[in-house]
Amino acid sequence: MGQLMTVTDNVIELKDISVDFPTQDKAVKAVKQVNLTIKKGDIYGIIGYSGAGKSTLVRVINLLQQPTTGQVIFNGQQLQKLAPVELRQARKKIGMIFQHFNLMKSRTVLGNVEYPLLGGKISKSDRRAKALNLLELVGLKNLANSYPNNLSGGQKQRVAIARALANDPEVLISDEATSALDPKTTKSILKLLQQVNQRLGITIVLITHEMQVISRICHNVAVMDNGEIIERGAVAEVFTKPKQQLTADFVETAINVKDALERIGNQEKYSNGNLLVYLNFIGQTSKKSIISKISREYNLDVNILFANVDQVDGKDIGYMIAEFVGEPKTANEAIAEMKKDGIIAKMINSNKE
């Protein structure tokens, strides 16, 4: 085997990964020198627009895509150094689910879940029992003998999840697994992934183009653009303090602030000087009392034009757009006071913070 296993909390380490695809004109640099470490038990999101390089990067994790340069380390072992038999074993520990489910139409639900175990050491009856257990876990035991064509999208994805768990993986990669599903089904599939993570201790790497998906279940997130990771961190942190414009765009779209800003910002009175303030409350900060305190102490009328509370990685995060009616100087003092209370606050129709 030639390699010593290193004991580590990191299940995946990508070091200086680049992927170039040769094309007729010039090579497409799909992934550029990415370093990424994912800890055991994490739910790690990778977000980016189409073409950012997300799928290519996650396919590198199980070497479905060979990187042009860099090291892929899984549980302390560099995968590129493994012999084919060992690589096959390691790959079994990385399950994958996809946007279009990739089920086999000619096999029953049970047959699909049993499939990865065919040819293994497990007996036929144990294999069946295991597959039925997994179907129970995903809530589909009663459909074991149905065929994929007779299932809804959400049910198909549940079968795909059961199948991906057949080999007892340590990591489950979800490549846009909810992108073809409606919002309600998306929620239920994300909940199931969360249960898989919590009950079975499986690390999840989830790629998506929707920040809402990230905020529901991920603990950490990396933002990809043009083959690079441009920002990363704890989800609540990235959500409330995005450093890059692209990240801010994803967040604002997810919480509907973008639409609200456009709608409100287009109104004439706000382009003519009425004061608009954007507020972002994190955790337990009580927005009600703060707003009334500010209004009282600074003699400002505060009209709330938009408000939304979201759960991000289990924390309440509130967003508000409000009109402050009063002197700009006083409004700025009020904003400074709110910042002291840990609120992110800024004037949005003036250059002043």
Minimum Å distance from CB 19 to ligand ATP?
8
Cβ-based nearer residue to ligand ATP, 214 or 294: 214
248 binds ligand ATP (CB under 6 A): no
Cβ-based nearer residue to ligand ATP, 54 or 158: 54
Segment 136-175, which members bind ligand ATP (CB under 6 A)? none
Contacts with ligand ATP, 29-68, as mask; x by CB under 6 A: -x-----------------x-xxxxxxx------------
**Residue 108 corresponds to which amino acid?**
T
What Rg, from alpha-carbon coordinates, does the chain have? Answer: 24
Beta-carbon contacts of 63 under 8 Å, excluding residues fewer than 6 positions away, are 72, 79, 80, 87, 91
233 binds ligand ATP (CB under 6 A): no
Cβ-based nearer residue to ligand ATP, 175 or 323: 175
Minimum Å distance from CB 40 to ligand ATP?
25
Selected range binding ligand ATP among 23-31, 106-114, 317-325, 331-339, rule: CB under 6 A: 23-31
From candidates 10, 15, 20, 28, binder to ligand ATP by CB under 6 A: 28
Beta-carbon contacts of 94 under 8 Å, excluding residues fewer than 6 positions away, are 61, 62, 74, 169, 170, 171, 172, 173
Cβ-based nearer residue to ligand ATP, 96 or 236: 96
Minimum Å distance from CB 343 to ligand ATP?
34
What are the C-alpha distances in Å from 115 to residues 69, 71, 106, 147, 167? 34, 31, 12, 14, 10
Minimum Å distance from CB 51 to ligand ATP?
4
175, 205 in Cβ contact below 8 A? no
Query: Under rule CB under 6 A, how many of the chain's residues touch ligand ATP?
Result: 12
116 binds ligand ATP (CB under 6 A): no
Cβ-based nearer residue to ligand ATP, 197 or 208: 208
From candidates 3, 8, 21, 309, binder to ligand ATP by CB under 6 A: 21
Long-range contacts of 191-196 (CB under 8 A, 24+ apart): 191/217, 192/138, 192/139, 192/158, 192/161, 193/43, 193/161, 193/217, 194/43, 196/137, 196/161, 196/165, 196/172
Residue 346 Cα to chain centre, angstroms: 27
- CB count in 10 Å sphere of residue 142: 10
Minimum Å distance from CB 180 to ligand ATP?
12
102 binds ligand ATP (CB under 6 A): no
By the criterion CB under 6 A, which residues form the site for ligand ATP? Answer: 21, 23, 28, 30, 48, 50-56
